[in-house]
Amino acid sequence: MVGLLAATGFVRAFVPVAIALTTTALGTLLPIMRENGILGGVFGRTVFAAGAIGEILPILAISLFLGSEQTWWEALVIASIAALAYVLALVARVLARTRLATVVGENQHATSQLTLRITVVLLVGLLLVTQQFGIEAALGAFFAGMVLRWTTGANPELDEKLDAVGYGIFIPVFFVSSGMALDVVSIVENPLRLLVFLVLLVVVRGVPALLIYRRTLDLRERTALMLLTATALPLLVALAEIGVSSGIMLPENAAALVGAGVLSVAVFPLLATRLAARTPVA
């Protein structure tokens, strides 16, 4: 489908656009679903699984196909960082049996906030490693989350602290910076491009949910899932920046793609939560 757009001259290069149409803004959806009480049950687990695929696979695709090095080198670096994350998790599990873990646990609610600080250091460290090798920084955040989950397991107290830091500081800053970088003039001059990308988000990323989960969810739930999986923004911003800076994406397409993502975040979760509001929690 995107190849057809490239053939007609609508897009200059189809790879970044094709990757963009497979993304899901799971991090943006989670607090919305939690506030509406639809994060649990079969529906919530299905959204989480579909959304996780819509985040990690596009991130890997960005690193492999839009990286600064050859694909085989990018794959080797990603595998090495994954191995590093696994080693860190093993080291953390070994340290969990020592006196150091006791000290950290005793100070997790003190002013030192050791667990939160260690988590931030882990995140920043893996972000720097990925950035140093020219890999998408979001991949470092993903591996940091894997290490944290392998090490601590379910930890509601730490999750609440990370939610407070993320949703209280970093995510608002991201949306503000994205809004400031949005080329509104280009969107106004080319509104059709925004509509095309918005429809493609639904068709490419959302519509398959109607078929894949037909034995698990009813039609209303699958429609809500379609809208949620078609919600995208963070990776669209990254892809637009990569595409424009490398000269492979038309500036008007970059603006329209980000604009479609903004519109999807504003409209799709609202409609989806209305549809899923009566979903029974199992």
Structure confidence by residue, pLDDT tens digits, 233-272: 888 988 888 888 888 888 899 999 999 999 999 999 999 9
What is the crossing angle of helices 71-95 and 114-132, to 10°? 160
Rounded average pLDDT over 8-23 = 86
| Nearest to 197, CA basis, from 228, 136, 242, 240 | 240
pLDDT band (50, 70, 90) for residue 176: low
Mean pLDDT, the chain, as a whole number? 79
Which two three-digit tokens encode residue 106?
Answer: 């005793």
CA-to-CA distance for 14 and 173, rounded, in angstroms? 30
Q: Rounded distance, CA 282 to CA 276, Å?
A: 13
Long-range CB pairs of 3-11 (<8 Å, 24+ gap) are 5/196, 10/193, 10/196, 10/253, 11/249, 11/250, 11/253
Taking residues 103-120, report their average pLDDT: 64
The answer to whether 133 and 67 have CB atoms below 8 angstroms apart is: no
pLDDT value at residue 152: 62
pLDDT band with cut points at 50, 70 and 90 for residue 174: low
Over residues 44-103, the pLDDT tens digits come to 999 989 998 998 888 888 878 876 556 677 778 777 877 887 787 777 777 666 666 666
State the average pLDDT over residues 166-182.
64
- Residue range 165-170: average pLDDT? 65
Percentage of residues of the chain with pLDDT beyond 70:
75
How many of the other CB atoms lie within 10 Å of CB of 192? 9
Q: What confidence score (pLDDT) does residue 181 get? A: 65
